[in-house]
Amino acid sequence: MSALRESLGFLASRLRQVGIFVALILIVLLFQGLTGGILLQPQNVSNLVVQNSYILILAIGMVMVIIAGHIDLSVGSVAGFIGAVAGVFIVHWGWAWWIAIPACLLVGALVGAWQGYWIAYVGIPAFIVTLAGMLIFRGLTLITLKNQQITPFPDELRALGGGFLPDISGGTSVLEWLTVILGVTATFALIFQGFKERRSQKKFDLEAEPRVWFITKTAFIALLMLAITFLLASYRGTPIVLIVLAVLVIVYTALMNNSVFGRHTYAIGGNLHAAELSGVKTKAVTFRLFVNMGVLAALAGLVFTARLNSAQPAGGTGFELDAIAAAFIGGAAVTGGIGTVAGAMIGGLIMGVLNNGMSILGLGTDYQQLIKGLVLLLAVAFDIFNKNRAGGESVFIKFFRSSNTPSTPEQPKKDRLEPAGAASTTERTSVTQK
C-alpha cells in the first residue's frame, strides 16, 4: 500500500514528463483506432520516422536554444538555404557527397556564427536576429536557386533521406535481421543504463524512483522499443536517418547532461546573472549554441532535400514552427532553464503522429493546423497550471505530499517574503542592471 502511494506521489511530481509520454501513447491509440489500423502498419511507421526526422533534428538544436532562454525563427529558411547550397555543390558543380555534406554543414555553422554574433556579442534579442535571418536566408535560397528547383540528386545523398540499412539475409527472411539485432541491442543497452543509473542514485543517497515505478517504466519502454523494432523489421528495415537521429539524440543528451557546455546552457537559462557571477562565459556559450543550431539546421536541410530529391525555393518553410512546438510540447520552459532533448523528441513525435494520422484520415491542412495549434496551446497551458517548478507547487503534488510527508522535511512557503528582507528589499542598493 505504501509502495503504491509512494509511486503515485512520485508520478505526480513527474506529472509533466509522464504526462507527455502518456499523451503520445493516447494519440497513437486514438489514430490507430480512427484510421482502422493504418497508423501502425509497418510501412506507415517507417514513413513516420523518415517524414519527421528533419523536424526532430531541428528540435534538438531548438530545445537547446530555448533552454538558454533564446529562440530561433530562422531554422526553416536556413534548412532551405542549405538544400539550395547542396544542390549547387552536388548537382551543378558535381562535388562528391562526402565532400558536399561536410561543406554544407560548414556553411550551416557559418550561418549560425553570423546569427550568434549579433545575439551574443551585439546583444540583439534572438527573436529579432532570427526573424531577420528567416527573411535573409529565404532570400538567399531564392537567389541561389534562381527561383527554380535543382534536381535530381545522386543516390548516395538520397539514401540520407529515404534509404535503409542493407538487408543482411539477402531478402530471404520476413524480418530484417540487422534491424532486429540493432533494436534488441539498443533495448538491452537502455535497460542496462537504467539499472546503472539507479544503482548510483542509491549509492549516493539521491532520491531514487520508487521500485514499482522504475520497473513498470523500464519494462514499458523496453516493450515499446521491441514493438517498433518488429514493425520496422517487417517492412524494409532501419531507415538510415533513424541511425543518424539516434546518434544525435544520444550525443546531445549526454552533452546537455554531462558536459560543461550543457551545464552552462542550463545555468544561463535558469538565471543569467547568477551564471555570469559564477564565471560562466555567457556570451561564448550563447554564440556556440547558435553555431550548433546552424549545423543541425544544415543537416535537417540535407535530409529534407535528399528525401524530396530536389532543392526547392520554398523548402523548409514553416519548419521552425514545428521545431519550436516540439520543444515546448516536450516540456521546455518559455522562460528558459528547463527542457530535455528527449522531451523535444517526444513533442516532435506528437506533432508527427498528428500530422500523419490526420493526413491518413484525409483531413485538410485547415483542420490540421487548427488542431496542431490547439495541442501546442494546451500543452503549455498544462505546464502553467501544473507549474511543477520552484516556488509553485501543483495541486496534485500538494495532494500527494499531504499523505506523503516524510519525503519533504522542509515545507517551503509559496512566494514567501524574505523575513528581515521584507523591510530591506526596497532599501537594497540597486546593483548592476544590465
Partner 1 sequence: MNTPILQMRGITKTFPGVKALQDVTLDVNRGEVHAICGENGAGKSTLMKVLSGVYPDSSFDGDILFENEPCSFASITDSEKRGIVIIHQELALSPYLSIAENIYLGNELSSKGWVDWRKTNLEAAKLLARVGLSENPATPVQHISVGKQQLVEIAKALSKQVKLLILDEPTAALNDEDSSHLLDLILHLKGQGVTSIIISHKLNEIRKVADAVTIIRDGQSIETLRLNDGEITQERIIRSMVGRDLASLYPDRNPTIGEEVLRIENWSVRHPQDHTRMVVSNASLNVRKGEVVGLAGLMGAGRTELAMSVFGRTYGQAVTGKVYKYGKEINTGSVSAAINHGIAYATEDRKHYGLNLIEDIKRNISLAALPKLVTKGWVDKNKETVVANGYRKSMNIKAPSVAAVTGKLSGGNQQKVVLSKWMFSDPDVLILDEPTRGIDVGAKFEIYTIIAKLAAEGKAVIVISSELPELLGICDRIYTLSAGHITGEVPIAEATQESLMHFMTQEKE
Q: Which residues sit at the interface with partner 1, rule CB under 8 A?
A: 200, 203-207, 254, 257-260, 263-264, 266-267, 270-271, 273-281, 333, 337-338, 389-391, 407-410, 412-413, 416-424, 426-433
Which one, 339 or 348, has the nearer CB to partner 1?
339
Of the candidates 39, 54, 40, 53, which has an alpha carbon nearest to the alpha carbon of residue 359?
39
Reduce the DSSP state of residue 389 to 3 states and report it.
Answer: strand
Distance separating alpha carbons of residues 141 and 143, to the nearest angstrom: 5
CB of 18 to partner 1, least distance (A): 18
Q: Is the dihedral of CA 130, 321, 255, 301 positive or negative?
A: negative
Which one, 84 or 120, has the nearer CB to partner 1?
120
Fill in the amino acid letter for 3.
A
Distance separating alpha carbons of residues 105 and 71, to the nearest angstrom: 21
Distance separating alpha carbons of residues 163 and 322, to the nearest angstrom: 24
Reduce the DSSP state of residue 307 to 3 states and report it.
Answer: helix
Which one, 260 or 374, has the nearer CB to partner 1?
260
Q: How far is CA 298 from the centre of its chain?
A: 16
Q: Is the dihedral of CA 232, 256, 414, 7 positive or negative?
A: positive
The phi and psi torsions of 144 (rounded to 5 degrees) equal: -60, -40
CB of 403 to partner 1, least distance (A): 17
Distance separating alpha carbons of residues 153 and 83, to the nearest angstrom: 11
Cell numbers 539550395 correspond to: 84
CB of 333 to partner 1, least distance (A): 8
Which one, 174 or 423, has the nearer CB to partner 1?
423
How many C-beta atoms lie closer than 10 Å to residue 34's C-beta? 14
CB of 180 to partner 1, least distance (A): 31
Which one, 92 or 428, has the nearer CB to partner 1?
428
Distance separating alpha carbons of residues 18 and 24, to the nearest angstrom: 10
Which one, 373 or 391, has the nearer CB to partner 1?
391
Which one, 313 or 343, has the nearer CB to partner 1?
343
CB of 282 to partner 1, least distance (A): 10
CB of 257 to partner 1, least distance (A): 8
CB of 286 to partner 1, least distance (A): 16
